[in-house]
Amino acid sequence: MHGCLRFFFKIVPVVIMLIALILAGLSQGGSRSKNVAFNSSTYLFKIDLTRVNMDKVFENDDRTIAELGFSQIYSFGLWGYCKGQTSSDTDTTISTEEEIKQWFSKQDYNVTYCSKPKSLFTIDIVDNLLNDIETSVSSSLSITLPPAVVKQKGAISACAHAAFILLLIGVAALGLSMLCSLLALLLPSLSGFALGFGLLAFVALIIGAASTLVTYTKVKNNFNNSYNTYGIMASLGDNKFYGMIWAAVVLTLIACIFNLIAVCLDRFVSKEPTRTEQVHDENPFMGYEEKQFQ
């Protein structure tokens, strides 16, 4: 009975961690290719320039964003940025937070280009936008973003770098935890290592997931709160990145619980007393020894 339980609590976390590993890997590898729709639509946040206030953002430049060479939408991920167009009705009047949400919920984002993948990609919205257009135009162009977003410039980049490293640690730790869980079927002492690597993966993933969600939600809110002045909207998209990374966090926690139970079962079995059979003499001594009294 104990053997069946030990096998169950060692093999189940392997399956769970495999799913968590796939989800964490997919979330970490987003925004790398425009040819893979799922990949290009996995990002941290995106900005919409379809209704940008040219006078405010581009200092009274009388050209349109298309004439300047910009796309309508830019999305930013851990490996780079992607850009594209939308066929949604850009003449729709938007003035409130609720209308912004409705716009993004109905918007189609057709990705036309993704930058070359780069590890520890630096998200600098102004520089990324200027690098996307012709040098002859960008050299004489100045972009002004909402002050609240400008203040977050350092946090936007630092959070992306930290998340990149944390997710790599989480993915690697998940892989090691899976390996130890499999080997623990033969070597029970490795169950502790499986639990340790699983906890490391959980900590790395949850910090990465929480920090990105908090940071880029603030970025989104700061853009949208200044929309009536600057005309730039922002969104976290369809939350593919956040959905996958948080699912990986939950699955990793469940796997750790299973590994903890496996460790407890291993210790219980190792400390279980062995039964010894009491051996009796076939011919027990039945006599008596006469004592001499003085």
Digitized pLDDT (tens) for each residue of the chain, 294 residues in all = 555 766 676 788 889 999 999 999 988 877 777 766 666 778 999 999 999 988 888 876 778 888 888 999 999 999 999 999 888 777 777 878 888 888 888 888 888 888 888 888 999 999 999 988 887 787 788 889 999 999 999 999 999 999 999 999 999 999 999 999 888 888 877 888 989 999 999 999 999 999 999 999 999 999 999 999 999 999 998 888 999 999 999 999 999 998 888 888 777 655 545 444 444 445 555 555 555 544
Q: Exposed, middle or buried, 179 (CB in 10 Å: 0-12/13-18/19+)?
A: middle
Within-domain flag for 294: no
Within-domain flag for 208: yes
Query: pTM value?
Result: 0.82
Within-domain flag for 280: no
Residue labelled with tokens 């919205």: 125
Within-domain flag for 290: no
Within-domain flag for 283: no
φ, ψ of residue 123 in degrees (nearest 5): -85, 100
Within-domain flag for 285: no
If one counts the domains in the chain, the total is 1
Helix (H) or strand (E) holding 83: strand 81-85
Within-domain flag for 58: yes
State whether residue 263 is helix, strand or coil. helix
Query: 140: domain range?
Result: 2-269
Q: What is the per-residue DSSP string for 100-115?
A: HHHHHHH---EEEEEP
Within-domain flag for 146: yes
